[in-house]
Amino acid sequence: MTTKASDFRYIVRMIGTDIDGLKKLPIGLLKIKGINKHLADAIVKVAGFDIGMSVGNLTDAEVKKLEEVIKDPSRFGVPVWLLNQRKDLETGKDIHLTGPDLTLNIRTGIKTMIESRSWKGVRHSLGLKVRGQKTRTTGRKGRVVGVRRKRTAR
């Protein structure tokens, strides 16, 4: 899997993301939205690449192989608990979303909660904390924190 110095690429395009070619393969995969450290390690291992390999040394065929594994990791033997969309509402399957697909799915999920007027939806619509955090002192979003003084007459 070694390549000539002239074949080295400083920027590699993968799944709609530019990845620095100087980074090691698992670290470079972290730049793709929807991939965390554990999943990046599993993808590299399942695809059969060396963990110490640089992203810039990948050939076009190897990049395509990595993209296939990223798009459907469960087909290549990645554990189901690493996927970010288990038991999808539409299909009922375990899938993994990355990049703009993940962003769109999150937005539609929030929109569905707001339209159904669930508790989380109401919190989202009001711009408040959703997951049970305290709101007495944090999450004020630009409002004045502390006590205002009265203006003194001069």
Q: Write out pLDDT tens, residues 12-41.
A: 999 889 999 999 999 999 999 999 999 999
First CA to last CA distance, the chain: 80
DSSP 149: P
Listed in sequence order, the residues at least 6 apart from 97 whose beta carbon sits closer than 8 Å to its beta carbon are: 34, 84, 85, 105
Q: Write out pLDDT tens, residues 88-97.
A: 778 888 889 9
DSSP 150: P
What domains, with CATH codes, occur in the chain?
A: 5-82 (1.10.8.50), 98-133 (no CATH)
0.85 exceeded by the pTM? no
DSSP 148: P
Cβ proximity of 55 and 28 under 8 Å: yes
